[in-house]
Structure 1
Amino acid sequence: MSRISAACVLLLLLCAGGPATAGTATRVLEGRVLADRDGDGRADRPREGIGGVALSNGRELVRSGPDGRYRITLRDGDTLLLIKPADWQPALRADGLPDIWQHERRKASRGLRYGGLPRSRASGTFVLRPAPAVHDPFEIRVFGDPQPKSALEVEHFRRDIVEPLIGRPARLGITLGDIVDDDLSLYPSMLAAMRRLDTPWLHVPGNHDLDFDAATDAGSLETFRAHFGPDTLAWEEPGVSVIGLDDVIYDPESRRYAGGLREDQLAFLEAYLGALPADRLVVLAVHIPLFGSFDAADRQRLFALLRRFDKVLVLSAHSHTQRHVFYGEAEGWHGAEPLHEYNVGATCGGYWGGLPDAEGVPDARMADGTPNGYATLMVEPGGDYRLRWTAARDADDPAMHLHAPKVLRRGAYPGVPVVANVYMADSDSRVEARIGDGPWQPMRRVEAADPVMLAINLADDAAGELRSFNRLPQAVDSTHLFMLNLPTDLELGEHRIEVRVFDRWRGELRAETRYRIADWP
């Protein structure tokens, strides 16, 4: 990813002034948050107000009074956000998204290929109904990079990801950007597909969700905001606050982008986080990971705002691989516990590439060998959490895949390994293997290319004809690969290889394969 200079970023912020791009006109809006205890969703009848509800214009925060009334200043181009309280829930709009925002736009966007924001005036009225009580852990579904670039790939997404989840609603869902691959006309079909999930869903933007013909960074998300709402948001459930942020800073002149945060977002975070108890789980959802090329100064400012919280989880996407990063003092994090970032794999995997299966859906595995799919964040009412990765449409729900030679010569140098790609492993994971009923031995963690992925790349290279519409990406080093050299001094015949991993959230998980010892003829 190319970077733009800090000076350029500052110039963009000064010119754009945050997300409001249509002008400098403001008005003070008097609104109200109302209780819908009978569930009819109507705002045109007498109702009691709900006090203490947080609302934001993307920079500042206000709270409703005991009668549900509040006042907030809106600039032309702002989006008014209601931060859903843990014990209340909004109705779903006609497009299936939660009814928690209203745009303030005096004139429709002009000159944008995909339309941008229509003319709209915020009413300030929101209606909430009581949320079901939580006594058990609840699920938050997490999609990284659906990223279709055609109607056919929207169909792949629907069949591969959405359909297996129909009838299994979660408490909340969130997509970590790159909802499409630059073709923003696909937004309505993506919304139509995801509406069937029957789950309130939040979206943060990615670098492929931009209006590339916008004149400013702030204006580059107008079409995204028209379909998915604000690019700065928060949502509360028992024990957890989920915060979504646009962390893609776009330079229209060079058409390049960088990972970082705007001043208005940092102001919002300071206002919102300052009111939260320190023992609450804070989940930050972004597109570009905080490691790598993310702006170092912005990361430190973010770390300073999050430091007082006991439990912080960052969910990012963008890389089309999967890894866990734990930040400590060496990285500038000074919280009581290491800060955990889970760089979530992509629902589109390797960009919807690879050989199609019997139903016509591509293999789509990622460059590090992880199968495409989705993540689940399981939250305990007290704020503790668990994570898991689910491979798309795989009934076996594998935690890993193994690669081993089919046959080795008896007495040969034992330098050929069994390789385990453990999808949710990190640098501290305990992974062991044994041959037959022999003793368990530790497998060594390596950063190398997955051999299964390499074999697919080589088969594509060697083929005289195209094997698929899109190839899978070239293999890259995986951070969750483990190896153990196989012995060759065993008796002739077949031997079982068993691998076990002690997953930090799911406990002991196993997989097995076999190899054969033979004599040279």
Structure 2
Amino acid sequence: MIRRDFLKNMTIMGVAVAAPVAIAEAAENRATVTDLSTTLLKGRISSAGKGVAGVAVTDGINVVLSSANGNYELLSNKTTQFVYVSLPSGYEFPHENSITRFFRTIDHSKSSFVSDFELKKLSLSDDKHTFIVWGDPQIQTKRDAELLVSQSAPDLKEVVDSYRDKVPVHGIGCGDLVWDKFNLFPDYKKAIALSGVPFFNVIGNHDMDLEARTDEGSTRTFREHFGPTYYSFNRGKIHYVVLDDVFFMGVAKRYMGYIGENQLQWLEQDLKQVPAGATVVVSLHIPTNTGQHARNKDTTPELGGVVVNRQRLYDVLKPYQVHFMSAHTHFNEVWIEDNMTEHNHGTVCGAWWTGPICGDGTPSGYGVYEVEGDKISWYYKATGHPKTHQLRIYPVGKHKDYPQEACINVWNYDKNWHLEWFADGRPMGKPEQRTAYDPWAHEMFMGAEKPNPRGWVEPNLTDHLFFVKPDASVKVIKVNATDPFGNVYTESLNLNA
């Protein structure tokens, strides 16, 4: 079995050794009698002393809207933990050191619980705004945490500062904030706090309590740090939704990509307030779908690699223009089909902090999204590089499978990009797209002995590679890559260097 197969089966076969211990631990969690009676949730949504009407309030099961004077009432089951609002457009996102505070923990000891939410109007319009998506910081050791704080966080702050005072900015932590080490959550919080902007966080498979006996129990520590695992908010004309698509099976390290009926029913209620045709941004950790199984020539996707009931989610979202923000895979991929675009992000940690790139050659980094009205444009920000760093050219002979050709990696490529290459200034047309390994990733990660440490890391086949075959007399090749928004990125390579 090659190590790719080993990694693929970590969520399926690889639990065999761990399962007896985990099951034994789960058996020790004795059931307690749960009070299933109700608590009346009520309060007021206000701003500068005036009630704010039409704000969605939820306990994660039902959704109600605040009245004309800002009041709300909601009868809630005592098994719920939070009452929270879908923060409305035109208002600031309240946060404490970048952890957005849109929720209150319910005290179920009495028959009613009062929670008021005070909103503050933005000083500028949010029809234009920017958001940033951090996928898989995935810190496991203090060394990882130090790199996150000393390298990734300052890069993030520099990007935020370039927008600050011009447009509102928020962040999305797209899961695997840590790598099973909950004592490092404060390090993650320290890193995002350096940005000074509010972050909304997504639970990943490495943010779960592995000793839990159910999926619900696996989110306990995450909820203590960040609040609800699914919720929504609004900015400008965009409706944002965060979902928990990591379904924990009750055995350590075993999970699948799945969205339960409770979330789907909640989402249907939440979207009743969103007009058809609007743009909806849905953030979740495991991608709804990728092309990786096809690249690997597998018949079906991995159980833990995509959302298995994604079609049910697509059906709910059919009336909208949807952008999915996902992470998990440690490669970068953008796919577009009908009303949906999925941005599966390269990671903040690269290939688990073993070098400056992911398994597909994408630099460690994150996504930056610029919003104007209901339109979204985007680029990938490589940590430590300028915004213009959007492709890499490898010289002839660098790719082991195509030694007579130069190789080009355009990591944020989608079908709406346009590529053209030049030989000593002469236009040569479009490079040929192929599925292959990125040469640098292959060099760094292929083989049981590397990288050191974490030798199980492997390169990923990717289809954002392009090839050209210059004549022997050519001295310089140049590539122009035009993104879907008309931005032209250029790289040149001197073949005699």
Question: Given the two structures, how large is their TM-score scaled by the length of structure 1?
Answer: 0.79
The alpha carbon displacement at 1:105 in A equals 5.7
In structure 1, the residue matched to 2:92 is 89
Q: Is the 8 A contact 2:54 2:68 kept in 1?
A: yes
Q: Describe the SS at the equivalent of 1:28.
A: strand
Among 315, 324, 334, the residue aligned to 1:314: 324
Structure 1 residues 457, 255: CA separation in 2 closer, same or farther (over 3 Å shift)? Answer: closer
1:305 lines up with 2:316 in the alignment: yes
In structure 2, C-alpha distance between the alignment counterparts of 1:224 and 1:135, rounded to whole Å: 29
Among 475, 486, 498, the residue aligned to 2:470: 486
Letter matched to residue 89 of structure 2: A
In structure 2, the residue matched to 1:505 is 485
Q: Is the 8 A contact 1:373 1:389 kept in 2?
A: yes
In structure 1, the residue matched to 2:144 is 153
In structure 2, the residue matched to 1:78 is 81
Q: Deviations over 1:319-356 (max 9, x none)?
A: 000001223xxxxxxxxx341111111111110113xx
The alpha carbon displacement at 1:98 in A equals 2.1
In structure 2, the residue matched to 1:265 is 263
Among 149, 156, 173, the residue aligned to 1:165: 156
Structure 1 residues 495, 471: CA separation in 2 closer, same or farther (over 3 Å shift)? Answer: farther
In structure 2, the residue matched to 1:514 is 494
In structure 1, the residue matched to 2:379 is 388
In structure 1, C-alpha distance between the alignment counterparts of 2:206 and 2:306, rounded to whole Å: 19
Q: Deviations over 1:173-202 (max 9, x none)?
A: 101110100011211221122112111110
In structure 1, C-alpha distance between the alignment counterparts of 2:431 and 2:107, rounded to whole Å: 58
Q: Deviations over 1:29-73 (max 9, x none)?
A: 1211121x3xxxxxxxxx222111111111211111111110112
Cα RMSD, aligned residues only = 2.7
In structure 1, C-alpha distance between the alignment counterparts of 2:145 and 2:470, rounded to whole Å: 43
1:435 lines up with 2:423 in the alignment: yes
In structure 1, the residue matched to 2:39 is 27
The alpha carbon displacement at 1:506 in A equals 4.8
Q: Deviations over 1:100-143 (max 9, x none)?
A: 10122659xxxxxxxxxxxxx96421110112332763210110
Q: Is the 8 A contact 2:98 2:198 kept in 1?
A: yes
In structure 2, the residue matched to 1:424 is 412
Letter matched to residue 428 of structure 2: W
1:132 lines up with 2:144 in the alignment: no
Return 433-442 or 244-253, whichever deviates more.
Answer: 433-442
The alpha carbon displacement at 1:459 in A equals 9.6
In structure 2, C-alpha distance between the alignment counterparts of 1:367 and 1:90, rounded to whole Å: 35
In structure 2, C-alpha distance between the alignment counterparts of 1:345 and 1:22, rounded to whole Å: 42
Letter matched to residue 345 of structure 2: V
Q: Is the 8 A contact 1:84 1:90 kept in 2?
A: yes
In structure 2, C-alpha distance between the alignment counterparts of 1:173 and 1:415, rounded to whole Å: 42
In structure 2, the residue matched to 1:49 is 51
The alpha carbon displacement at 1:428 in A equals 5.0
The alpha carbon displacement at 1:164 in A equals 2.3
In structure 2, C-alpha distance between the alignment counterparts of 1:397 and 1:212, rounded to whole Å: 41
Structure 1 residues 482, 51: CA separation in 2 closer, same or farther (over 3 Å shift)? Answer: same
Q: Deviations over 1:63-97 (max 9, x none)?
A: 1111111011233342211110001224323x432
In structure 1, the residue matched to 2:294 is none
Return 503-512 or 223-232, whichever deviates more.
Answer: 503-512
Q: Deviations over 1:409-438 (max 9, x none)?
A: xxxxx9611111001112453222111022
In structure 2, the residue matched to 1:187 is 185
1:370 lines up with 2:362 in the alignment: yes
The alpha carbon displacement at 1:230 in A equals 0.5
Structure 1 residues 469, 253: CA separation in 2 closer, same or farther (over 3 Å shift)? Answer: closer
Structure 1 residues 467, 245: CA separation in 2 closer, same or farther (over 3 Å shift)? Answer: closer
Q: Describe the SS at the equivalent of 2:194.
A: helix
Structure 1 residues 209, 506: CA separation in 2 closer, same or farther (over 3 Å shift)? Answer: farther
Matches within 5 A, 1:97-496: 97-104=99-106, 123-134=114-125, 137-166=128-157, 168=161, 169=164, 171-253=169-251, 255-291=253-289, 292=301, 293=303, 298-309=309-320, 311-327=321-337, 337-354=338-355, 363=356, 365-381=357-373, 383-395=374-386, 397-405=388-396, 416-427=404-415, 429-457=417-445, 461=449, 469-470=453-454, 473-488=457-472, 490=473, 495-496=475-476
The share of aligned pairs that are identical, in percent, is: 26
Q: Is the 8 A contact 1:374 1:389 kept in 2?
A: yes
Letter matched to residue 478 of structure 1: T
Q: Could you tell me which runs of 5 or more consecutive residues in structure 2 were left unpaired when the two chains were aligned.
A: 1-7, 13-32, 290-300
Return 314-323 or 394-403, whichever deviates more.
Answer: 394-403
Q: Deviations over 1:150-191 (max 9, x none)?
A: 222111111222112336255211011101000112112211
Return 140-149 or 284-293, whichever deviates more.
Answer: 284-293
Q: Is the 8 A contact 1:76 1:104 kept in 2?
A: no
Runs of 4+ off more than 6 Å: 294-297
Q: Could you tell me which runs of 5 or more consecutive residues in structure 1 were left unpaired when the two chains were aligned.
A: 5-20, 38-46, 108-120, 328-336, 355-362, 408-413
In structure 1, C-alpha distance between the alignment counterparts of 2:377 and 2:210, rounded to whole Å: 37
Q: Which protein is bigger by CA-based radius of gyration?
A: 1
Return 422-431 or 142-151, whichever deviates more.
Answer: 422-431
Q: Deviations over 1:277-307 (max 9, x none)?
A: 1232100100011114467773222111111
